[in-house]
Structure formats: C-alpha cells, structure tokens
C-alpha cells in the first residue's frame, strides 16, 4: 500500500477524507521508470490516473512535446487524464509515478462531495411536520413538478409499506442503495458515523412526509449516512428499479453541448482546483460539495446545463438542482478533461 501522505500534493486527491485516502491507497501503486521508458501511450484505455511523484518526463501529442518535472505547478494534476490517454509519456530522468484506480477515485469524489445529502439537505423536521398528510408533503417536493403525472401515480402504486421499531436501522452508512423512503408515521434520526464506527454525529431528525435514500440511488454509490428509527416508524418505500424508471429518468434529462442556446448557463461541479486547470468557456464553478448553498443564488429564469469530467458528479448535481425547482439538465457523458482547456 502506498503512503497516503503522497495524496496531499495532488488535485483532486488532496480533497479526499482520510478514510477514503486509505481505501484508495490500497488500490494504488508506485512504479519506477528509467530514462527512455514509456509510462503510457497515447490512445490507451486509462484504467488509472497517473501522478508524477519524482523525476522528469516528456508528454507528447500531435501538437508537440513538453517537459514536466515534479514540483511544476502542472504536476499537481493527473498526467493525460480522461478515459483514454491523450498523450504519450516518456521518462527523461529517473522518475516515480503514482497510479490510482480511476473509477474508484471518481466514485469517492462524488460520494465525498455529496456527503450528507440524504440528511443535511432534508433539515430538521418540526413538530408541525408530523401533522401533515404524507402524500401531500411528498407532492410538495419541487422535484415532482417535473415528473409526468402518470409517473407520480405509478410511484404511489409501486410503493410498499414497511415498519421499523424504535432503535432499528432503516439504512446503514456504507451499504448499497436499494430503496427510496418516505416517512408516513413516527420519527427517524440521521447520523454520520466516523471511519472507525466508534462514534457518530446527529445530522437531522425526520418526521412525516420526509424522504431519504435518493442520493445512493442517483449516484450508484454507497449510503453516505445512517438512518435509525427514533420511535416506531411506518414508511413507504420505492425500489431502486422503480425509482430509476419513474423518478430519476425524468429528472436526469440529457443534453449535448452542440445544442446550447443563449438562455443556458453552464455549471461545472468539479473541485475548484480542477476548474482552475481548465474548464468549458463561459462555465461557472459550483463545486458539488457546496452546491446546496450556492444553488440559492441561481436564477430560476435560466436553464442550467451541468457537467463534470465523467458525468457521475454532475448527475447528482442535476437531481439536487431539480429538487430545488431549478431547470437543470445533464451534459451527456460529461466533458473529458482534454476538452476543458480554458484556464480560470
């Protein structure tokens, strides 16, 4: 396993929480190269992200070649990022390169930046919430305004009742997403567990009409919080398959950049360090981890097209923005880093 202290030198590795760094380190490797050796070739499928730890290399593409050594500002970022290598990397002086699992890193970035969405964004339910009819409360969710009426009827028809006694775990942090829940009676507590599992922080208490569990179903990542019944809780739940067909699909409307029009505002939800290195011309940076707060300043008169480099983080962002009543669409497949050339 590589030393996790190495991660603090690089964007976006430095943004990961210690527990994620540790897990990623177990799936990472350090490789030494001698002058003349090729690290990777242009056009290769990139299953890893590569970071220069020491030494000097040359990056070659159709526009020419440039040297890069550890300590250069550009060396803070991945070498030839993207699904396929955009350049060939040649070792000029003895070098060491850190390779991290590309897919795992992307999952961790999306999960860490949406951490607590299943809890914090729901807020703390007041006692008055418990007096509301749960169906009425659910329909007041702004996301339902963008769902076809036929889908809403099917959502209610597809839900099944389930009961948890006080103290029982409804969803557990780290487990895969399986259901979307709405509370019909009782109260639940949302907690965030530390990486050791020995302590927890209460994030919210939820009452009748409150929903939870959508984040893992949108992103395909593990649950980012635990929900426990505070009293005897009656809930209705929707399976992941039904959620994807009836709720997720209508909200995650896809677009292509070639169809952009004047009323569109492009939103880049990657980390500031990633945005500074390069972004689509005219885009604004609203990092996913801060989107809940920053979304309050967005003008609902505009249409927002959201992108990241893979489509994973932007999918979570689009769902979140639509829940807030904004007209948000997903740039299909994300935009590869090689295309994001305008520096901040």
DSSP for 76-111, please give it: GS-BS-SSB-SSEEEEEEEEEEEEEEHHHHHHHHHH
> Token pair of 6, please?
């190495």
Whether the Cβ atoms of residue 211 and residue 248 lie closer than 8 Å to each other: no
In this structure, are residues 82 and 309 in contact, taking their beta carbons and an 8 Å threshold? yes
Place of tokens 């339902």: 144
Which has more pLDDT, 279 or 250? 279
Determine the CATH number of domain 254-339.
3.40.250.10
As a whole number, mean pLDDT of residues 239-262 equals: 89
- Is 247 in contact with 151 (CB distance < 8 Å)? yes
pLDDT over 50 at 17, yes or no = yes
pLDDT of residue 306: 96
What is the CB-side half-sphere exposure of residue 99 using CA atoms within 13 A? 11
Beta strand spans in the chain (E): 29-33, 38-40, 48-61, 64-69, 88-101, 160-164, 169-171, 179-185, 188-193, 200-206, 211-212, 226-229, 233-239, 254-255, 264-268, 284-285, 303-307, 327-331
Q: Which of 269, 267, 173 is nearest to 221 (CA)?
A: 173
Q: What rounded mean pLDDT belongs to the chain? A: 86
Total residue length of the chain: 344
**Mean pLDDT along residues 143-169:** 86
| pLDDT class of 125 with cuts at 50, 70, 90 | very low
Task: Say yes or no: do domains 4-109 and 115-250 share a fold.
Answer: yes
Higher pLDDT, 241 or 292: 241
Residue 342 has a pLDDT of 63
* Tokens read off for 243: 């959620």
How would residue 198 be classed by pLDDT, with cut points 50, 70 and 90? Answer: confident
Q: CATH top-level class for 115-250?
A: mainly beta
How far apart are alpha carbons 97 and 9 in whole angstroms? 13
Which CATH number is 4-109 given?
2.60.120.10
Region 21-28 average pLDDT: 88
Residue 254 or residue 120, greater confidence:
254
Give the start-to-end residue ranges of the domains of the chain.
Answer: 4-109, 115-250, 254-339
- For residue 56, what pLDDT band results from cuts at 50, 70 and 90? very high
**12-30 per-residue burial string, b: 16 or more CB within 10 A, e: under 16:** bbebbeeebbebbbeebee
Going by pLDDT thresholds of 50, 70 and 90, the confidence category of residue 122 is very low
The mean per-residue pLDDT over the stretch 263-288 comes to 92
Highest mean pLDDT among 5-9, 20-24, 86-90, 322-326: 86-90
Which tops the pLDDT comparison, 46 or 148?
A: 46
pLDDT score of 123: 39
**Of all residues in the chain, what percent are helix, strand and coil, respectively (each to 5)?**
35, 30, 35
Question: How much of the chain exceeds pLDDT 70, in percent?
Answer: 90
**pLDDT value of residue 197:** 67
Across 97-106, average pLDDT: 90
């Amino acid at each position: 396993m590589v030393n996790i202290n190495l991660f603090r030198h690089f964007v976006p590795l430095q943004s990961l929480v210690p527990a994620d760094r540790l897990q990623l380190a177990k799936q990472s490797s350090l490789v030494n190269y001698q002058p003349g050796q090729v690290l990777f070739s242009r056009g290769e499928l990139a299953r890893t992200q590569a970071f220069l730890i020491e030494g000097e290399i040359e990056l070659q593409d159709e526009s020419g070649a440039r040297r890069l050594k550890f300590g250069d500002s550009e060396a803070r970022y991945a070498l030839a990022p993207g699904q396929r290598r955009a350049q060939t990397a040649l070792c000029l002086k003895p070098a060491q390169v850190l390779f991290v699992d590309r897919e795992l890193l992307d999952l961790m970035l999306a999960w860490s930046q949406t951490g607590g969405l299943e809890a914090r964004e729901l807020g703390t339910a007041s006692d008055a919430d418990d007096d509301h009819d749960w169906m009425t409360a659910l329909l007041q969710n702004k996301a339902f305004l963008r769902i076809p009426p036929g889908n809403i009827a099917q959502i209610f028809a597809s839900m099944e009742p389930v009961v948890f006694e006080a103290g029982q775990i409804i969803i557990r942090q780290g487990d895969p997403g399986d259901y979307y829940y709405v509370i019909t009676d009782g109260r639940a507590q949302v907690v965030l567990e530390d990486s050791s599992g020995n302590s927890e922080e209460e994030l919210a208490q939820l009452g009748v009409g409150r929903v939870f569990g959508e984040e893992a179903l949108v992103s395909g990542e593990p649950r980012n919080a635990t929900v426990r019944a505070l009293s005897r809780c009656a809930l209705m739940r929707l399976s992941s398959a039904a959620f994807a067909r009836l709720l997720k699909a209508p909200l995650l409307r896809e677009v292509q950049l070639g169809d952009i029009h004047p009323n569109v505002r492009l939103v880049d939800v990657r980390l500031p360090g990633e945005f500074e290195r390069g972004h689509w011309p005219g885009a604004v940076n609203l990092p996913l981890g801060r989107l809940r707060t920053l979304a309050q300043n967005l003008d609902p008169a505009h249409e927002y097209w959201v992108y990241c480099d893979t489509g994973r983080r932007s999918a979570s962002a689009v769902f979140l923005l639509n829940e807030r009543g904004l007209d948000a669409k997903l740039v299909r497949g994300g935009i590869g880093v090689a295309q994001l050339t305008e520096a901040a």
